[in-house]
């Protein structure tokens, strides 16, 4: 198993970088690719973003759209292939939107699925902790939960990359 966490800001190139790495790995290993997408259409702009991401994926990749059961989606995937999750930020936001506070159970279930996954896994997420502390309590809870989750995943990960202006910066591995 190999875990690669790819972090970055909005439009930093993290998805394109992850897709490039996955495409290269799949070509060399002859492995099937599963793309787990977590974005939900909520407005025209988000619909355009999703369409852009869909158009950039190779035709042979199998896509699963997940709102909150990311652990279940990961458990169902082949242990032989390669999985890309894009993105953890939107998944956690979906978990938050269904509860008045953090859904720690969903995070714990995902971390448990992650710990037993045997395939090659690439995860994309926004690094949102570099700004000011949010003013609202729910926003602070979200930023804190995402930051803790990133730290836990990074501790398990073989590689961590921070994308800045389309340039991958090696953080770990």
133-150 pLDDT per residue, tens: 888 888 899 999 999 999
- State the angle between helix axes of 104-116 and 137-156 in degrees (0 to 180), rounded to the nearest 10: 10
8-25 pLDDT per residue, tens: 999 999 999 999 999 999
26-67 pLDDT per residue, tens: 999 999 999 999 977 677 776 777 777 777 777 889 989 898
- Rounded to two decimals, the pTM is 0.91
Neighbours of 129 (CB within 10 A): 13
Can you tell me the distance from the alpha carbon of 50 to that of 39, in angstroms, rounded to the nearest whole number?
Answer: 7
Can you tell me the distance from the alpha carbon of 85 to that of 65, in angstroms, rounded to the nearest whole number?
Answer: 10
Active site residue 53: yes
Among 4, 52, 53, 150, the active-site one is: 53
Question: Given pLDDT bands bounded at 50, 70 and 90, which one contains residue 78?
Answer: low
Q: In the chain, what are the domains?
A: 2-172 (3.40.50.300)
**In the predicted structure, residue 102 carries a pLDDT above the cut 90:** no
Can you tell me the distance from the alpha carbon of 86 to that of 38, in angstroms, rounded to the nearest whole number?
Answer: 6
């Amino acid at each position: 198993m190999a875990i690669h966490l790819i972090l970055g800001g909005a439009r930093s190139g993290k998805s394109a970088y992850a897709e490039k790495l996955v495409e290269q790995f799949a070509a060399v290993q002859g492995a099937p690719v599963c793309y787990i997408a977590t974005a939900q259409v909520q407005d025209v702009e988000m619909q355009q973003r999703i369409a852009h991401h869909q158009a950039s994926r190779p035709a042979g990749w199998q896509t699963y759209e997940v709102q909150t059961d990311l652990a279940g989606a990961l458990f169902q995937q082949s242990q032989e292939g390669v999985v890309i999750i894009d993105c953890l930020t939107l998944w956690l936001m979906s978990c938050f939107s269904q509860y008045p506070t953090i859904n720690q159970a969903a995070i714990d279930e995902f971390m448990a699925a992650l710990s037993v996954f045997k395939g090659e896994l690439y995860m994309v997420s926004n690094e949102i902790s570099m700004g000011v502390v949010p003013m609202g309590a729910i926003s602070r809870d979200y930023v804190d939960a995402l930051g803790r989750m990133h730290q836990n995943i990074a501790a398990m990960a073989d590689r961590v990359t921070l994308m800045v202006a389309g340039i991958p910066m090696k953080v770990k591995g």
